[in-house]
Amino acid sequence: MEYLDSLTGFRLDGRRPNDMRQIRGEIGVVAKADGSALFEMGNTKVIAAVYGPREVQNKSQQVNNQALVRCEYSMANFSTGDRARRPKGDRRSTEISLVIRQTMETCILTHLMPRSQIDIFVQVLQADGGTRSACINAATLALADAGVPMCDIVTSCSAGYLSSTPLLDLNYIEDSAGGPDVTVGILAKMDKVTLLQMDAKLPIDIFENVMQLAIEGCKAIAQYIRGVLLENTKQLECCRGV
Amino acid sequence: MATNPSTYALSQSSDSKQRLQQRRGLFQETEWTRSDGRNFHQCRPAFLRTGAANAASGSAYAEFGATKVIVSVFGPRESKKAMMYSGTGRLNCNVSYTTFSTPVRGQGSDHKEYSSLLHKALEGAIILETFPKTTVDVFALVLESGGGDLPVIITCASLALADAGIMMYDLVASVSVSCFGRNLVIDPTSEEEACQDGTLMITCMPARNEVTQLTLTGEWTTAKINEAMELCLDACSKLAEIMRSCLKEAASGSS
Amino acid sequence: MDGQSLPRNPLAYPPASPRRSLPFSSSRPPLHSSLLPYPDEVFIFLAPTAHPLRCLALWFPAAQPSAAPTYSRQRVAPPLLPSGYCGLVSSLRRLGWRPAAYCSSPPSRLRISLSHRRALVGSATGKRMVGLSEGEKRFIRGGIAQDLRTDGRQRLHYRPISVETGVIPQANGSARVRLGATDVIVSIKAELGKPHPLQPDKGKVAIFIDCSPTAAPMFEGRGGEELSTELSFALQRCLLGGRSGAGAGIDLSSLLIVEGKVCWDLYIDGLVVSSDGNLLDALAAAIKVALSNAGIPKVTVNLGASPNGQPDVDVSDEEFLQFDTSGVPVVVTLTKVGKHYIVDATSEEESQMSSAVSISVNRHGHICGLTKRGGAGLDPSVILDMISVAKHVGEQLMSLLDSEIAAAEASAEDQ
Amino acid sequence: MAAGGGEGEDELVTPGELLGDSSGLIAGTGAYVAPNGRSIRASLAGIRCITPAQPDAADQRSTVEVVGHKAQGAVPQPGSVVIARVTKVMARMASADIMCVESKAVREKFTGIIRQQDVRATEIDKVDMYLSFHPGDIVRALVLSLGDARAYYLSTAKNELGVVSAQSIAGATMVPISWTEMQCPLTGQVEKRKVAKVD
């Protein structure tokens, strides 16, 4: 299976190695949620909703000097190619919920809202590779929409290494090709890496520039997300006639 | 008053599958007698008894033809820890089938929605304000599934609640009717239910003439719905007579 | 499409007004006129944006009752304010309260006009319904009794409905339906399967509904399980007809490939993305639109290969045969609040329901399914009355959906 | 519709049966007024008995009651006096299992808590819970309110409320000697309790 056309240098879906898929963000898709957002990266479509800060449900988990961040990742039955009944608590979604929670926890100023709870619910409508990154971007947008104080916006992107060239933002086919898959989550302005995951093996120097490529991707997404938030705030202001 | 059941249920063994196809053709003509000899508008003989399980606050046993159900009521007792505070009482229903209740062993698990249907049928009839913050548990167990299981469960559960001394606006009686082409067949057996074109089930409070639950599948015209509802409501009032006499006999018997 | 069918009003805050409603519920005083015994003069003030209380209505005995009731909504300088109240009004002004309306000797049943109240109420209900106060409950019941619900609709009037098809490219057919704030997605996938032994001449249809936690925090983990199974069974009862397949909305025999051996298994998956009441109708409409958008691949069977075993079937992925959805019914849920019943209830109105009847009506006006949920008993005559109303409303909804489907198909062609 | 049957005293009724008209009768326990406001119907299965109104009572209508042969399990109501066994004593409250409600035993235990401020009527802030109750004591208490999701709120702030019987360390049933002390008959050892005045 040839992932990179040796003559033209294009990938299977016509992108160049360091091209990102078409990304689109939309704010306020769920009326009843405090904050909600839809994020699309190519065919991967994810909806995130934020409820909180609100009263802690079971007092045993209550933290008395900061907010408790909880996250649940769930995939729709129709999200992948083959239709499979997805039980709620399977291992993969628990692991991804944990990853998203840890990533978002670093950027939320939890000490401002002690003894409260913030729920982040992420629903994958369509999975075409890079669902983890799309979820984190959607969660960031939803938290901003919910007015939760954050030190910086977190963006995430994935990159891989196939037929000896680093590829940015893998889709499902490239992801399941068995090659390495590096997922990076960074705080855009503070330039700190909050999430770094890689499976399969890579020599250090190749890993270096694959990660660098992913960080470039995250920066581009951060710029796009800032644009969306700015646009949304402008819209709010003109509605309020200030 | 309580006649013992005389009908037998056609077992569903594999060789009877051809007979089932052949019988389905038979149902389409207008005049045919039902497998247990009843005419279209005749219910199965009802046998009702309260006080079937003495461990429960109240219990009842019902036998409608081949369908045998036992319901025991516990409570009002403390709600489970996880429950939120609720100003009025709470009803918790659970319907389960024994593994040997259905002809093909283990088919009982595909009636998972009966518990929530039973809950919806009874919640309109119980005065929940009389036991605030506590819960009444209704556990129904189907010993043998001979068709029309849900109506029998609801009727038997309402008898068990009355036996437990829970305050109720009225008893709850429930009857279902199946439709084959033009004609309506009341209180169907499982064999008739397997090839019915549609079904209508009514749960009502007979003395107050109020319908607490109504479910209907298949294609009906309004006129046919009206006719079926009349049929079921008057069957419910007859059934209520049997329930009241059973309760009175139990009360006079024990006091 | 904001679906704002009400006249734009200069004063009106948009529904998405102050972003963060404060943690404690922003209860607003009930403006239900039946509480005002003798309102001579009413001044309505809008709160400064951050104030928890959204609006304040001050009643005054009018200095001298003017004959004709004047009702002005522009910036109001209270002309003939009784002397005692000037101080109060000016101090309110300093605190940032802005006068929004003035009505002298209003009619006994003061019902502030909708577009204006939307300004007061629109932003006041806040996003999260943290339990309705007693006043709000009476406000809702009173509104329904007067055929004037909190968001301006009549009793038998639907919220603005928006339909998109083909939202899930990987599925055979999909649709997204937004009914006010309720938002559901349905996808249809067809896979090869073996017919049921008892019904060898029919395909199989399975309906699964899933409540996503994004709709409400209580759907987290297994919380949404009970509601999902209830919705699935109600939809199965309305769409699949009797056990013998008569009256089924979906023609099962068209799913057959080889009798007894191979047929199409149709998986209908629904997902509730955002819930603001009336989920069953939204899901049923989404299923109908998704079916119209569904394409079942053409199939060529060569029986010769293995007479007894599985005949091998090759599925062509170019030509698709469209699904005939004329027989698919629509579901109309009538919710009874007080003495009247309404269509398309929001979640606040559903919290006030005493009983609800969901009726599925098909194109020929026949009833294909009926479920009475909710506790309180209903007189049989009321149920028959509801059925006739549902048939009438069902036709309107059916025509609305057909036009939406046609529009979606037209836009799909020219893409 | 099942009519109420004859006028006789010990006449058996079942839930839903019409008992009479609200113009002539008041609904007592076991009966309720139907939403249309006129007819009174039974809500229990049992014997209907009509008690004429007292001559001086304002409302001259007699009350109809249904006495159930198997009464509904007792449920703690605000204002009912209950007997409970103390299970745990903490600094600010004691938790107890309610065993019977107004002389009727409950089938399964209900949980109640006695808060520090409800132990006695005088100097409520200087109450020492450990000197008022011990796990295992039998307490007569008044149900203050339905409390929260987990427990009812009980109070022993009256003379006839408090510890009814307690076991001493030596194991004998102690004898109350004052409203704050009980003595063990075997060892003569005095223990502090909030004692109920039982006549």
pLDDT (tens digit per residue) in C330-378 = 999 999 988 898 999 999 898 888 889 999 998 888 888 888 876 788 8
Residue among B116, B199, B215 minimizing CB distance to C230: B116
CB B171 within 8 A of CB D15: yes
Q: Which residues from chain C sit within 8 angstroms of residue A240, using beta carbons? A: 13-14, 17-18, 49
Shortest Cα distance from C244 to chain B (angstroms)?
5
Mean per-residue pLDDT of chain A = 90
Same domain? D55 vs D142: no
Distance of alpha carbon A56 from alpha carbon A79, whole angstroms: 31
**Cα(A214)–Cα(A219) distance, rounded to whole angstroms?**
9
Which single residue is written with the structure tokens 């982040």?
A: A120
CATH of residue D50: 2.40.50.100
Structurally, chain D folds into a number of domains equal to 2
Structural domain containing residue A109 = 23-240
Distances (CA, A) of A229 to A27, A28, A125, A139, A215: 8, 11, 22, 13, 21
C217 close contact with A: CB closer than 8 A: yes
- How far is the C-alpha of A170 from the C-alpha of C45, rounded, in Å? 56
B116, C383: Cβ pair inside 8 Å? no
Which superfamily does CATH assign the domain made up of B35-254 to? Answer: GHMP Kinase, N-terminal domain (3.30.230.70)
- Exposure string of A210-226, with b = 16+ CB inside 10 Å and e = fewer, is bbebbbbbbebbbebbe
A160 found inside a domain: yes
Cα–Cα dist C234/C230, whole Å: 6
Say whether residue D133 is in contact with chain B using an 8 A CB cutoff: no
CA atoms of C40 and C58, how far apart (whole Å): 10
Query: Percentage of residues in chain D with pLDDT exceeding 70?
Result: 93
Q: How far apart are CA C390 and CA C373, in angstroms?
A: 16
Residue of chain B with shortest Cα separation from C233: B113
Closest partner residue to A147 (CB to CB) among C20, C210, C347 is: C20
Do D46 and D89 lie in a common domain? no
* D16 and D39 housed in the same domain: yes
Q: Cis bond leading into A180, ω under 30°?
A: no
D43 touches chain B (CB under 8 A): yes
Residue of C nearest to B17 (CA): C198
DSSP letter at B109 equals: G
Does chain C reach chain B with at least 3 CB pairs under 8 Å?
Answer: yes
Going by pLDDT thresholds of 50, 70 and 90, the confidence category of residue A117 is very high
Closest CA to C168 of A138, A121, A90, A75: A75
Q: Does B20 touch chain C (CB under 8 A)?
A: yes
Q: What is the ipTM of this complex?
A: 0.83
d(CA B176, CA B216): 9
Rounded to the nearest 5°, which phi and psi values hold at A133?
-70, -45
**DSSP secondary structure code for residue B169 in this structure:** S
Q: Percent of chain C at pLDDT above 70?
A: 64
- Is residue A175 pLDDT above 90, yes or no? no
The domain limits of chain C are: 33-124, 161-414
Confidence at residue C308, expressed as pLDDT on a 0 to 100 scale? 60
Residue C222 has a pLDDT of 80
User: How many residues are recorded in chain B?
Assistant: 255
Q: Which residues of C touch A89 (CB under 8 A)?
A: 221
Task: Indicate if the pLDDT at residue B253 is higher than 60.
Answer: yes
CA B102 to chain centre: 16
Task: Tell me the per-residue pLDDT of B15-29, one tens digit each, with 9 for 90 and over.
Answer: 445 555 555 555 555
The Cα D191–Cα D187 span in angstroms is 11
Cross-chain Cβ contact D107/B209 below 8 Å: no
Phi, psi (deg, nearest 5) at residue A219: -60, -40
Chain B nearest-CA distance from C148, in A, is: 28
Residues 6+ positions from D1 with CB-CB distance below 8 Å: B206, B207, B209, B237, D18
Q: Are A113 and A53 in contact (CB under 8 A)?
A: yes
Q: What are phi and psi of C266, to 5 degrees?
A: -95, 115
Neighbours of chain C (3+ CB pairs under 8 A): A, B
Q: What is the pLDDT of residues C319-328, one digit of tens each?
A: 777 777 788 8
- Contacting residues of C for A146, CB less than 8 Å apart: 20
**Mean pLDDT, rounded, for D78-83:** 92
Beta carbons of C212 and A239 less than 8 Å apart: no
Give how far Cα A96 sits from Cα of A100, A102, A160, B110, Å. Answer: 6, 10, 19, 33
CA A87 to chain centre: 22
Confidence at residue D62, expressed as pLDDT on a 0 to 100 scale: 85
**Who among C247, C355, C375 is closest to B197 (CB)?**
C247
- Minimal Cα distance from C128: which residue of A? A32
| pLDDT for position A214 | 94
Residues in chain D: 199
Asked if pLDDT for residue C83 goes beyond 70, the answer is no
Give me the pLDDT at residue C236, please: 86
**Overall average pLDDT of the C136-142 stretch:** 90
Q: How far apart are CA D173 and CA C90, in angstroms?
A: 74
Q: How far apart are CA B199 and CA B188, in angstroms?
A: 9
CA proximity to B69, closest of B139, B140, B171, B2 = B140
Report the pLDDT averaged over residues B187-215. Answer: 89
Any CB–CB contact under 8 A between C136 and chain A? no
pLDDT, residue C15, reads 36
Average pLDDT, chain D: 86
Would an 8 Å CB–CB cutoff place D99 in contact with chain B?
A: no
A-C contacts at Cβ under 8 angstroms: 118
Are the beta carbons of B219 and C384 separated by less than 8 Å?
Answer: no
Q: What integer pLDDT is reported at residue D2 of this predicted model?
A: 37
Nearest CA to CA, how far is B64 from chain D (Å)?
Answer: 22
With beta carbons under 8 A apart, name residues in chain C contacting B216: 237, 367, 369-371
C-alpha–C-alpha distance, residues B213 and C377, integer Å: 8
Could you read off the pLDDT of A72-88 as tens digits, one per residue?
999 988 888 777 776 66
Q: Rounded distance, CA B86 to CA D182, Å? A: 40
CA distance C174 to C161: 17
CA separation (Å) from C390 to B94, B200, C182, C241, C365?
A: 32, 18, 21, 18, 10
User: In the numeric block, which tokens belong to residue C324?
Assistant: 């005939």
**D6 part of a folded domain:** no
Calculate what percentage of chain A has a pLDDT beyond 90. 59
Q: Is residue C113 predicted with pLDDT exceeding 60? A: no
Average pLDDT rounded to a whole number, residues C273-299: 90
- The reply to whether A17 falls in a domain is no
Q: How far is CA C74 from CA A15, C12, C94, in A?
A: 57, 12, 19
Tokens of D20: 């009479």
SS3 per residue for chain C: CCCCCCCCCCCCCCCCCCCCCCCCCCCCCCCCHHHCCCCCEEEEEECCCCCCCCEEEEEECCCCCCCCCCEECCCCCCCCCCHHHHHHHHHHHHCCCEEEEEEECCCCCCCCCHHHHHHHHHCCCCCCCCCCCHHHHHHHHHHHHCCCCCCCCCCCCCCCEEEEECCCCCCCEEEEEEECCEEEEEEEEEEEECCCCCCCCCCEEEEEEEECCCCCHHHCCCCCHHHHHHHHHHHHHHHCCCCCCCCCCCCHHHHEEECCCEEEEEEEEEEEEECCCCHHHHHHHHHHHHHHHCEEEEEEEECCCCCCCCCEEEEEEEEEEECCCCCCCEEEEEEEECCEEEECCCHHHHHCCCEEEEEEECCCCCEEEEEEECCCCECHHHHHHHHHHHHHHHHHHHHHHHHHHHHHHHHHHHC
Q: Which residues of A touch C172 (CB under 8 A)?
A: none
Q: Work out the end-to-end distance of chain C between its first and last CA atoms, rounded to an integer number of angstroms.
A: 20
For residue D43, the chain B residues in CB contact (below 8 A) are: 127, 167-169
Report DSSP state, residue A17.
Answer: T
**Which of chain A's residues have a Cβ under 8 Å away from the Cβ of C23?**
53-54
Residues D135 and D89 in one domain: yes
Amino acid (1-letter code) at residue A73: Y
Q: How many CB atoms lie within 10 A of CB C152?
A: 17
Q: Residue A145: enclosing H or E segment and its boundaries?
A: helix A131-146
Residues 67-106 of A with CB under 8 A from C: 72, 74, 76-78, 80-81, 83, 85, 88-89
What pLDDT score was predicted for residue D182? 92
> Closest Cα partner for C246 from B227, B195, B176, B23?
B195
Total count of residues recorded for chain C = 415
Q: What is the DSSP letter of D103?
A: T
Q: Is A123 on the interface with C (CB under 8 A)?
A: yes
Which residue of C237, C367, C388, C389 is the best one to mutate when testing the B interface, meaning the one whose CB has the most B CBs within 10 A?
C367
Residues of C in contact with A80 (CB under 8 A): 170
Q: Which residues pair with B64 in a beta bridge?
A: B46, B67
- Best mutation target among C205, C336, C360, C370 (most B Cβ atoms within 10 Å) is C370
Using a CB–CB cutoff of 8 Å, tell me whether B227 touches chain C.
no
Both D169 and D93 in one domain: the answer is yes
Nearest CA in chain B to D150: B81
Q: Is D146 contained in some domain?
A: yes
Contact D149 B209 (CB under 8 A): no
pLDDT at C118: 29
Give the per-residue pLDDT at C339.
87
- Region of C277 (left: φ > 0; alpha: ψ -120 to 50; beta: rest) is left
Sort strands D152-155 and C355-361 into parallel, antiparallel or unpaired. Answer: unpaired
CB contact under 8 A, D41 and B248: no
Coil, strand, or helix at residue D117?
helix
**Reported confidence tier of residue C72, pLDDT bands at 50, 70, 90:** very low
User: How far apart are the C-alpha atoms of B153 and C159, rounded to whole Å?
Assistant: 39
Which residue carries 């994004």 as its tokens?
Answer: C214
pLDDT of residue C368: 87
* Interchain CB distance below 8 Å, B211 and C384: no
Q: Which of C170, C184, C278 to probe the A interface (max A CBs under 10 A)?
A: C170
CB B180 within 8 A of CB B197: yes
User: Out of B113, B204, B222, whose CB is closest to C367?
Assistant: B222
Query: Residues 6-35, chain C: which have Cβ within 8 Å of A?
Result: 13-14, 16-20, 23
Beta bridge partners of D40: D20, D33
For testing the chain B interface, which of C225, C371, C385 should be mutated: the one with the most B CBs within 10 Å?
C371
Selected residue of B155, B241, B255 to mutate for chain D interface (largest D Cβ count, 10 A) = B255
* pLDDT band for position C271 (cuts 50, 70, 90): very high
Q: Is D10 on the interface with B (CB under 8 A)?
A: no
pLDDT at B202 > cutoff 60: yes
Instruction: Report yes or no on D2 lying in a domain.
Output: no
Amino acid at site B181: G
The domain of D175 spans 81-192
Residues D178 and D113 in one domain: yes
Q: Which pLDDT value is given to residue C61?
A: 54
In a domain, A1, yes or no: no
Our CA-based measurement puts residue B68 at a distance from the nearest CA of chain C, in whole angstroms, of 23
What is the architecture, at CATH level 2, of domain C161-414?
Answer: 2-Layer Sandwich (3.30)
Question: CB distance C384–B125 less than 8 Å?
Answer: no
Q: Do D107 and B57 touch (CB under 8 A)?
A: yes
Closest CA to C98 of C164, C51, C30: C51
* Mutation choice for C interface testing from B216, B227, B229, B234 by most C CBs within 10 A: B216
Lookup: tokens for C12: 């009106």
Separation CA B94–CA B102 (nearest Å): 18
Domain assignment present for D1: no
pTM over 0.90: no
Query: CB distance B131–D75 less than 8 Å?
Result: yes
**CATH, residue A74:** 3.30.230.70
Q: Is the pLDDT score of B194 beyond 90?
A: no
